[in-house]
Structure 1
Amino acid sequence: MPTPEIVLITGGTSGLGLSTVKALHSSATPYKILVGYYAITATEASSILQPLLTAHPPSPSTLHPLPLDLESDASLQSAIDYITSSHGRLDILVNNAGANFDEDVRHGARPLRSALRKSWNVNLAGPHILTTLAAPLLLNSPAPRLLFITSGTSSLTETEVADFDKFPTLRVLNSSPEPGWPKEEMGVVACLGYRTCKTALNMLMREWWRMLRRDGVRVWGVSPGFLATDLATDLAGVGRERYASLGALPPSAGAEFIVKVLNGERDGDVGKVIRADMVQAW
């Protein structure tokens, strides 16, 4: 059996992250999958992964829950220390974990500055610090891959689209509300903080691609598509079922795309933000 690749997936116990863990675990390729989890106990993380461990046929891969808080430098360092002592290298880092806190502002649960600070910490600073700590481990890999999970809402170019008959999915993002204040329609898609973080994440990805290109690290921003996840529910302010009725795909579709990237199917598009069927416009 080939030597398993060491994979770290942040936010791996829910949504797209968990679907990616499942997709890798069901692959014929062996992996040691380090499943980053947050805001749950180790017992809860193990319980979430237990169905995979008892699946048939058995997987050639192994699962290793790993506590990982993107807002805690100590947590990030502890995770890297564990990987260093246990494996000495990291073949794949999937910066998947992300969250939207804009709805907290709309519902009065969090002040605006607090929500923005937390969004930038989780969606941008956390992945950057983790990648910085993980870089020496990636350079110890014979074929390292680095993924930043971004969003279709992050494209600056697409904010100029106004032909909603041709591009109906952009209507809710790009339509302007009625004059006056307050802007009640801001709540239709409460994702200003999240969206700007993901746009910044695209630039962060470009910087990491620039820095690691001559080291042979393949780097992408992966825009996984319109998925019916809990995060999607937060962004749209509607239930997951309603989101699916609008055309959202199951998280497994995004996971399949990520696995294709890891299998080399988009090696010609390194340094870019990629969608399943195209390179996403900046």
Structure 2
Amino acid sequence: MNASQKIALVTGATRGIGRETVRQLAEAGVHVLLAGRNRDRAVAAALELQALGLPVEAIALDVTDEAAIAAAVQEVERRHGRLDILVNNAGVLLDEIGKPVSAQSLDTWRRTFDTNLFGLIAVTQAFLPLLHRSPAGRIVNVSSLLGSLTLHSDPSSPIYDFKLPAYNVSKSAVNAWTVQLAWELRDSRIKVNTLHPGYVKTDMNAGEGEIVVADGARTSVSLALTGEDGPQGGFFHFDQVLPW
């Protein structure tokens, strides 16, 4: 591996948007660590991309497991000594469709936040020292338009009636965390942003959606590769700035 080659890690990357993000980053010349909860699945996915000649390697990482996160950090430090790009892509949607907002179980809320928010924060905190070793660190938090408080409060918005409360609120919290972290990192070489990938056809929504997975990964890749003059602490879909 070229010593000047960027090193990226993408969580939740064994399928869907995460895996496509890995592929597009690797095609751009980035050495990508494909992270998944199940090591065997991560290895299988990485081998398929390696067969295409892409610089991809597998790493086991369960974002809800403190020991697994620590082990992943040690592995990245041992292999590479730094991290240039962290894409927090791992996420779950556990709300029971059709159930009222107030009737979603507390267990659903807890499990959703464990992955979508607390896991994202834990991974970011753990890898931040390695990102500070990068000449131009990038943190990309995959959120959703469904996290927009502005649009959920507007009866004329396209998501006004789309209430998946645990998922939606977890993504609102991801956006809020991004703003807070961006303030901390404002004078550093690290940029952190959050994004809406689009309504993508993935397993999470049973293949429903408006755009293909390749387009769903585009915003993540763009923010991961943004230059020194790129944004800090923003919420984006492609080149569009989204309302909080």
TM-score (normalizing by structure 2)? 0.90
What's the % identity of the aligned pairs?
A: 28
Note closer, same or farther for the CA distance 1:223–1:3 as it changes in structure 2 (3 Å cut): same
Match of 2:236 in 1: 274
Query: What's the counterpart of residue 185 of structure 1?
Result: none
Q: Which position in structure 2 is the counterpart of 1:200?
A: 173
Equivalent residue runs for 1:145-184 within 5 Å: 145-163=138-156, 170=158, 173-175=159-161
Match of residue 263 from structure 1: 225
Verify: 1:6 aligned to 2:7, yes or no. yes
- Per the TM alignment, residue 190 of structure 1 is displaced from its structure 2 partner at its CA by 6.0
Kindly provide the CA deviation profile for residues 96-155 of structure 1, in whole angstroms up to 9, marking residues without a partner as x.
10001113895xxxx811111111110001111111111111110001001111101111
Deviation at 1:4, TM superposition (A): 1.4
Q: Is the 8 A contact 1:151 1:198 kept in 2?
A: yes
Classify the secondary structure of the residue corresponding to 1:174: coil
Deviation at 1:54, TM superposition (A): 1.7
Distance 1:68 1:266 in 2: 29
How many Å apart are 1:265 and its aligned residue? 6.6
Deviating beyond 3 angstroms after TM superposition, the runs of 4 or more aligned structure 1 residues are: 265-268
Q: TM-score, normalised by structure 1?
A: 0.79
**Contact 2:140/2:223 (<8 A) preserved:** no
- Secondary structure (helix, strand or coil) at the match of 1:99 reads coil
Are residue 34 (structure 1) and residue 33 (structure 2) matched? Answer: yes
Deviations 1:214-234 (A, max 9, x none): 122111012111211122x1x
Conserved? CA contact 2:218–2:238, under 8 Å: no
In the other structure, the counterpart of 1:141 is 134
Q: CA deviation at 1:44?
A: 2.9
Secondary structure at the aligned position of 2:135 is classed as: coil
Q: Contact 2:178–2:194 at 8 Å: present in 1 too?
A: yes
- Amino acid in structure 2 at the alignment position of 1:209: A
Residue 253 of structure 1 corresponds to 215
Equivalent pair of 2:84/2:138 in contact (CA under 8 Å)? yes
In the alignment, the residues of structure 2 paired with residue 119 and residue 105 of structure 1 have an alpha-carbon distance, to the nearest angstrom, of 17
Between Structure 1 and Structure 2, which shows a larger proportion of helix residues? Answer: 1
CA distance in 2, matches of 1:267, 1:223: 21
CA change 1:223–1:258 in 2 (3 A) is same
1:143-190 alpha-carbon deviations (Å, 9 max, x no partner):
100111110111111113223xxx5xx1xx423xxxxxxxxxxxxx56
Q: Distance in 2 between matches of 1:104 and 1:138?
A: 38
Contact 1:261–1:267 under 8 Å retained in 2: no
Point out the structure with max Rg over C-alpha: 1
* 8 A Cα contact 2:13 2:42, kept in partner: no
Moved more, 268-277 or 138-147: 268-277
- Counterpart of 1:236? none
1:224 aligns with 2:197: yes
- Asked if the contact 2:82–2:131 (Cα under 8 Å) also holds between the matched residues in 1, the reply is yes
Aligned partner of 1:211 in structure 2 is: 184
Q: Which runs of 5+ in 2 are unaligned?
A: none
Give the match for residue 22 of structure 2.
Answer: 21
Partner SS state of residue 66, structure 1: strand
SS at match of 1:257: helix
Q: One-letter code of the match for 2:15?
A: S
- RMSD of aligned residue pairs (Cα, Å): 2.1
* Structure 1, gaps ≥5 residues long: 176-188, 234-238
- Opposite residue 17 of structure 2, the aligned amino acid is L
CA distance in structure 2 between the partners assigned to 1:174 and 1:7 by the alignment: 35
- Counterpart CA distance in 2 for 1:22 and 1:160 is 36
